[in-house]
Structure 1
């Protein structure tokens, strides 16, 4: 039996950790500083700073390195060959990570196998009505339609974070049409072959999920994200 490699997940509130992240901003590398500077909205810059400082500190502790010494690179994309495939720790095949942020929340997951984490704010009903038909599996659409209208936003967010986490762990991201992946909208996720997933307790008004994939080849880790 293939062992289940359980991930560790950390969460931070952007508003609560921004001052500390600002003090540790020098740990970011040149590419991260450039991307941070290119973000036009202050809220986007704040989320990026907290997320990437937190990621470096988590990885540094795991690897026994100073956060600034962690080298994060991207594998080539199998779709276009560009340098924006799965982010990985340079030279370390035993440490896999995933990063997500939304609203006032940042999450990082680390595992011994390919891992994906996703956090989302629970959307308003009109966004659910407009988005669900394009991203949910037909069975998930039926599940959603059977719920009281007031329960649909939370169910949609639960389903969406599961999908994103699974597709991040697989390495394809949204290059795999989300509607082709069934994870379910209910309190128990639909099991997927070769993957392990779980909803993650989080802040009110948010949903979060994590997934691992036990057998990812090099090619599977290079899709556009």
Structure 2
């Protein structure tokens, strides 16, 4: 069970620490003052107010959280994206990843190591077997269909979030084939196999994240024997 703690004022992050932040998007009022002009333009394009609210709060939270570690003002941070669309800070080695779904966002932060995070609201209407056949490896599909019917929905979203977290950590977008690696569906969360480089799997740590009832979450980070902290953004 993930224990989410209240953060202190000042944050330091060692090379072996990984912080994960949980943001309850609907409980925080939107404030665009720290966003860039491009982010404000993107927010304005949302048709529904709730989607605009969630975008503003998640990206303002990202700026505020990263600013804690860098001891800078949130509006001073500058971002760019790699050729596959993964954002990064233009002038610092701090690594981060953001995911949001429904009423929650997750932000993972570490130093000089690949990291990815994913959160998904569990939706019973999803055609899980069809999506699994299109997006999971043969081993993952076999394990999913072997589960009792009442366990398949949670098994699907556990697998989905773990695969998404790993893909986002690698920062290669869909150029990384979804069937080129296997993750576990149950506990413990594992990157079981990577192809064609079989040794890559052992270089990663994967964790399930208990976000809230009705949500699935996962973290993937390159490295072993790491120190994890879990924070609630107040």
Shorter-chain TM-score range: 0.7 to 0.9
SS at match of 1:186: coil
Matches of residues 1-225 of structure 1 in structure 2 within 5 Å?
5-17=16-28, 19=29, 22=30, 24-75=31-82, 77=83, 85-93=85-93, 95-112=94-111, 113-124=113-124, 126-191=126-191, 192-214=201-223
- Asked if 2 retains the 8 angstrom alpha-carbon contact of 1:56 and 1:68, the reply is yes
Q: Distance in 2 between matches of 1:154 and 1:16?
A: 26
Task: Identify, as 1 or 2, the structure richer in helix.
Answer: 1
Normalising to structure 2: TM-score of the pair? 0.80
Q: How many pairs are equivalent? A: 200
Residue by residue, what CA displacement relative to the aligned partner does 1:62-99 show, whole Å, maximum 9, x if unpaired?
10001111111223x1xxxxxx6321111112x00000
Q: Cα offset for 1:153? A: 0.8
Q: 1:171 to 1:15 in 2, by over 3 A?
A: same
Query: 1:129 deviation in Å?
Result: 2.3
| CA pair 12-71 structure 1, distance change in 2 beyond 3 A | same
Distance, in Å, in 1 between the alignment partners of 2:54 and 2:106 is: 11
Shift of 1:4: 8.1
- Secondary structure at the counterpart of residue 183 of structure 2: coil
Question: Mind listing any 5+ residue stretches in structure 1 that lack a counterpart?
Answer: 78-83, 215-225
TM-score (norm 1): 0.83
Q: Which moved more, 1:34-43 or 1:185-194?
A: 185-194
Q: Is the 8 A contact 1:5 1:212 kept in 2?
A: no
Distance in 2 between the 1:207 and 1:121 partners? Answer: 6
Unaligned runs of 5+ in 2: 1-13, 192-200, 224-234
Structure with more strand by fraction: 2
Q: Distance in 1 between matches of 2:167 and 2:67?
A: 26
Q: Which has the higher contact order (CA 8 A, sep 6+)?
A: 2
CA distance in 1, matches of 2:125, 2:44: 34
Could you tell me how far apart the structure 2 residues matched to 1:25 and 1:212 are?
A: 30
Determine if contact 1:125/1:152 at 8 Å carries over to the other structure: no
Name the SS of the counterpart of 1:185 in structure 2.
Answer: coil
- 2:9 aligns with none
User: In angstroms, what is the RMSD of aligned CA positions?
Assistant: 1.8
